[in-house]
Amino acid sequence: MELELYKAFVKQQREEYFSKDKPYDLIYRQFEKGDFTKQSEDYFLSNASEVIDVLRRESWHEFQTKEHQFTSKMLSSLYSESDIEKMSSSEAIAWFVEKFPMHIYSLNLSNTQSRRSRAGKEFEAIIELILIGADIPMDSQGNIGKKFFIDKGLGKLVDIVSPGSVEYVLNKRDTILISAKTTLRERWQEVPEEMGRTGAREMFLVTLDDNISKEVIENLNDANIQVVTTKSLKEKKYSAYNSVISFEKLLAILKETAVKWTDFNYSDESKAEIVKNVEKQIEKHSSHPFVVDYYQRYLHKFQ
């Protein structure tokens, strides 16, 4: 198979192979397996970091098994039994590597890129489920849509806004913006630039990166961006930095912010938009009962 045809074939096969195992579905399945759907609000407020670690570990193990199967299938598609039937095992391996080096490289590159994309989406799903478990109101870009967030002035790098996008328009100072990145690399520079466009006073950057330099941490802090990570990473890597906080601390801040809106007098127009956003999220999560129950409870506050 010609290389370009093989690339297209791998892409098409990947979409089919993983179509029933989207990132959110994989995380939600692990969330259920870990019995986190049965935990209390206080549990998530106190143990969010542990939940993150468990979901990341278990989802990776499950995905890794499926990716290995996919890789084997894609490599096997490059040859037939008649090609190697007269060769010894070592001869067959040498022949395969010599004949398809660029095909093998292309598949490995495709796997890496797909894995990175999935990791980001899975991380966002983990954060969303923890916020739901902690009974924290929010709008998620993944549910409502990037265009909607951009139209509201939230920007493309904001993944979650709490209590919601309507509140953000009404009073930016009493809302929390969250951006999630498993690793920062050079992309951290995009976050201050994006925050400058939103007009927000601060942003929280949630990450699992264990190698953030002192310079990056200080630059982010100067831009009113707080790095958020798990308790274990905070203690092992960033204990010297007050501007790096644990996920549990972020949840406490989110709770305090949500209280400010308890007795807010929303206009009928604002209520209607909130209801519309919540219904959109309920529809998107129709196969995730824990999420649906949360949004239905939240919906009653505005009906």
Which SS3 state, helix, strand or coil, does residue 242 take? coil
Backbone conformation region of residue 145, classed left if phi is above 0, alpha if psi is from -120 to 50, else beta: left
Q: In this structure, what are the phi and psi dihedrals at residue 272, rounded to the nearest 5 degrees?
A: -65, -40
C-alpha distances (whole Å) from 54 to each of 35, 44, 231 are: 11, 13, 13
Question: Per-residue pLDDT tens for 95-120?
Answer: 999 999 999 999 999 999 998 888 88
| C-alpha span between 56 and 95 (Å, rounded) | 38
- Return the percentage of the chain with pLDDT > 90, whole number: 62
Task: Band the pLDDT of 37: cuts 50, 70, 90.
Answer: very high
CATH of 136-264, one of 3.90.1260.10, 2.40.110.20, 3.40.91.80, 2.30.30.60: 3.40.91.80
pTM, two decimals, is 0.88
Q: Does residue 140 or residue 76 have the better pLDDT?
A: 76
With vertex at residue 278, the alpha carbon angle to CA 292 and CA 54, rounded to the nearest 5 degrees, is 45
pLDDT recorded at residue 86: 87
Share of the chain above pLDDT 70, in %: 93
3-state helix, strand, coil in the chain (%, to 5): 65, 10, 25
Cα(271)–Cα(262) distance, rounded to whole angstroms? 14
pLDDT of residue 169: 86
Q: What is the pLDDT of residues 48-101, one digit of tens each?
A: 999 999 999 999 999 899 999 999 999 999 999 888 888 999 999 999 999 999
Contacts of 143 (CB under 8 A, 6+ apart): 280, 281, 284, 285
193 pLDDT higher than 80: no
Query: Which sequence spans correspond to the domains of the chain?
Result: 3-132, 136-264
The pLDDT, as a whole number, for residue 173 is 87
pLDDT of residue 147: 73
> Is the Cβ–Cβ distance between 97 and 18 less than 8 Å?
no
User: 171 in helix, strand or coil?
Assistant: coil
Q: So what's the pLDDT on residue 153?
A: 67
- Residue 201 has a pLDDT of 73
Question: What is the CATH class of 3-132?
Answer: alpha beta
What pLDDT is stored for residue 122 in this prediction?
93
List the one residue out of 203, 199, 200 whose CA is nearest residue 181.
203
Mean pLDDT over 141-168 rounds to 79
> Are the beta carbons of 198 and 232 closer than 8 angstroms?
no
Distance of CA 292 to the CA centre of its chain: 19
Task: Supply the pLDDT for residue 195.
Answer: 67
pLDDT at 301: 84
Select from 45, 237, 20, 214 the least CA-distant residue to 134.
Answer: 45
For residue 58, what are its two tokens?
A: 């278990």
Give residue 194's pLDDT: 67
pLDDT of residue 155: 65
Tens of pLDDT, residue by residue over 244-290, are 999 999 999 999 999 999 889 999 999 999 998 899 889 889 999 99
CATH topology agreement for domains 3-132 and 136-264: yes
| Cα 170 to Cα 175: distance, rounded to the nearest angstrom | 9
So what's the pLDDT on residue 111?
Answer: 94
What Cα–Cα distance (Å) separates residue 14 from each residue in 18, 49, 51, 90?
6, 32, 29, 29
Distance (Å, whole) CA 159 – CA 164:
11
